[in-house]
Structure 1
Amino acid sequence: MKIFFSPASPFVRKVMVVAHELGLADQIERLPSAAGPVARDASIRQHNPIGQVPTFFTDDGTVLYDSRVICEYLDDLGGGAFFGSGAARWRNLTDAALGDGLLGAALLARYEAVLRPEPLRWSDWTGGQLAKVTDAVDRMETMDLAGRLDIGTVTFACGLGYLDFRFPEADWRSTHPRTAAWFGAFAQRPSMAATQPGV
């Protein structure tokens, strides 16, 4: 198996956390990439027309994207239960969508700050995206996440880790103590330690 990889991508991290948890990480070759929202990587686009990471190759050469699809493939391959069944499946998928929404908004705010030329930056746009991030963490604060290991909680953890990595000035912990405590424990998992940005 192979994956177009970026150590800073929270979506790649989500895939690799699931792979580590299932004991599959050592079977996945990391392919270097230079994916970006403006200058897209031609080597990725040959396989994924969107040109984004993660883009994944199964052992038979099937190409999979995006992160949720890849995670579901790995879960099936590894006999996991990250997606669950019945009511738990819909909860897990909905939570994963909330986490992906947080990540999408955070990425857009990041791109606005570092890629858009300064005279063209729109503060209301950035504020709107970061408001989505805050609303997502507000919702997490109301949830009982203790003891859960599923695609929802993995996505939440990768989202909060991305905030720490790219928005260290965001003081989300002081206003979300339950989420902070949960994340502090979840971040100690070996899968999270092995996938920290830059590792």
Structure 2
Amino acid sequence: MSMILYHTPASPFGRKVVVMLHETDLIEQVELEIVQQTPLNPNRDVIDANPSGKIPALRLEDGTTLHDSRVILDYLDTLHQHTPMIPHHGPERWRRMTLASLADAMTESAVQIRYETFMRPQGLQWKLWLDNQHEKIARSLDYFEQTALPELEGHFDMACIGLACLLGYLDLRVANWHWRGEYPKLAAWYTEADQRPSMQATRPEAR
């Protein structure tokens, strides 16, 4: 094994990286090291590799460590022989990266909702802040539903992986939000995307 990926299977950011490893046939080249941590309980191995303590983190063969899922995905995209997960040049590159960034912004909000509702006592939860996170996700889902969904067809690249992992995380951790009824076209897209072997292999509830 030349690389080690520190990740948590339930994390949508970590899942993105593992999905890409499956999609690009790099999965056998990376050791998957599962770490259990929260902002209140950091993991020493992760901190030693990445001072911020954030996961996923990818330790390379030379001992250097990459962190932030988009940085890791961009690096992995240089290692495989398949169609690039993000175009290398031109306007299409910036468009796909922007869609990937939008998916990540939703994911960050969903994770914050999870932390606020799971880790903080109910009487101390900040409803207005939670509502704002929910609204950010809803606006972005509506954008994909009404505007960007045709751009996802025929691809399963970095933007699609990020969106699919976000929707899976909503089902897992924000299960009281029945988003499919509000975004039926997006739900249909996700139903198909979720059947990909890479998505099936990385289902958090199955790990």
TM class, shorter-chain normalised?
over 0.9
Rounded Cα–Cα distance in structure 2 between residues aligned with 1:25 and 1:135: 34
Asked whether the 8 Å contact 1:57–1:64 carries over to 2, the reply is yes
Quick check: 141-150 or 188-197, which moved more? 141-150
User: Offset of 1:79 from its aligned partner?
Assistant: 3.3
Rounded Cα–Cα distance in structure 1 between residues aligned with 2:62 and 2:97: 27
1:51 aligns with one of 50, 53, 58: 53
Aligned to 1:23: 25
Q: Secondary structure at the match of 2:77?
A: helix
Quick check: 45-54 or 78-87, which moved more? 78-87
Rounded Cα–Cα distance in structure 2 between residues aligned with 1:36 and 1:92: 30
2:98 aligns with one of 94, 100, 103: 94
- The answer to whether residue 90 in structure 2 is matched with residue 83 in structure 1 is no
Asked whether the 8 Å contact 1:35–1:52 carries over to 2, the reply is no
Asked whether the 8 Å contact 2:66–2:72 carries over to 1, the reply is yes
- The answer to whether residue 154 in structure 2 is matched with residue 135 in structure 1 is no
Rounded Cα–Cα distance in structure 2 between residues aligned with 1:176 and 1:39: 36
Q: Secondary structure at the match of 2:204?
A: coil
Structure 2 stretches lacking a partner, 5+ long: none
1:156 aligns with one of 145, 163, 175: 163
Aligned to 1:122: 126
Aligned to 1:108: 112
Q: Which amino acid aligns with 2:160?
A: T
Q: Which amino acid aligns with 2:200?
A: A
After superposition, give the CA deviation of every residue in 1:95-152 in whole Å (9 maximum; x if it has no partner): 1110000000001111000111333211111111111111111111022121112111
1:174 aligns with one of 167, 178, 181: 181
What is the Cα-based RMSD across aligned positions, in Å? 1.2
Calculate the TM-score normalised by the size of structure 1.
0.96
2:7 aligns with one of 5, 8, 17: 5
Structure 1 stretches lacking a partner, 5+ long: none
Asked whether the 8 Å contact 1:35–1:53 carries over to 2, the reply is no
Rounded Cα–Cα distance in structure 2 between residues aligned with 1:189 and 1:118: 37
Q: Secondary structure at the match of 1:77?
A: coil
Rounded Cα–Cα distance in structure 1 between residues aligned with 2:81 and 2:66: 18
Q: Secondary structure at the match of 2:5?
A: strand
The aligned length equals 199
Rounded Cα–Cα distance in structure 2 between residues aligned with 1:36 and 1:50: 13
Q: Which 4+ residue blocks in structure 1 deviate beyond 4 angstroms?
A: none
Asked whether the 8 Å contact 2:9–2:34 carries over to 1, the reply is no
Rounded Cα–Cα distance in structure 1 between residues aligned with 2:40 and 2:132: 21
